[in-house]
């Protein structure tokens, strides 16, 4: 991804289930097909509070110097995604939430109906 000051950037999609749901519904995902929820921890009793079935998980983490170095290293390796996985490379800054949601929807099309 181009890191220069003139690189294209989107307004970031807020990491908020209500905002993400509005985005997905705007793309044509019916409201009764899937919704986003917060997960507050990975302990078994906390995970029991998450509505089932779980079709996808978006993991949010801060960008650090170490994670950026690893990303650059991984970008230098030419690899093809598994043909059974929907994948698109993020090329626009601040688009990680949007791309994550598109990956989630693209990989569960056998489980949901799209308008």
DSSP state of 74: H
Q: What is the DSSP string of 15-35?
A: S-HHHHHHHHHHHT--TTT--
pTM of the full structure: 0.81
What is the SS3 assignment for 47?
A: helix
Which residues are CB-neighbours of 20 under 8 A, at least 6 positions away? 13, 14, 36, 97, 101
What is the chain's pLDDT, residue by residue, as a tens digit (115 residues)? Answer: 666 655 788 888 899 999 999 999 998 999 999 999 999 999 999 999 999 999 999 998 888 999 989 988 988 887 777 788 998 888 888 899 999 999 999 999 999 988 7
Cα separation of 112 and 29, whole Å?
A: 8
Cα 112–chain centre separation:
17
């Amino acid at each position: 991804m181009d890191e220069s000051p003139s690189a294209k950037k989107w307004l970031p999609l807020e990491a908020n289930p209500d905002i993400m749901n509005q985005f997905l519904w705007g793309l044509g995902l019916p409201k009764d097909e899937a919704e986003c929820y917060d997960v507050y921890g990975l302990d078994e009793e906390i995970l029991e509070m998450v509505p089932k079935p779980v079709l996808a998980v978006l993991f949010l983490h801060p960008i650090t110097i170490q994670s950026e170095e690893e990303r650059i290293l991984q970008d230098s390796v030419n690899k093809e995604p598994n043909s059974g996985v929907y994948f698109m490379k993020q090329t626009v800054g601040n688009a990680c939430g949007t791309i994550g949601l598109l990956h989630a929807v693209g990989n569960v099309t056998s489980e949901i109906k799209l308008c």
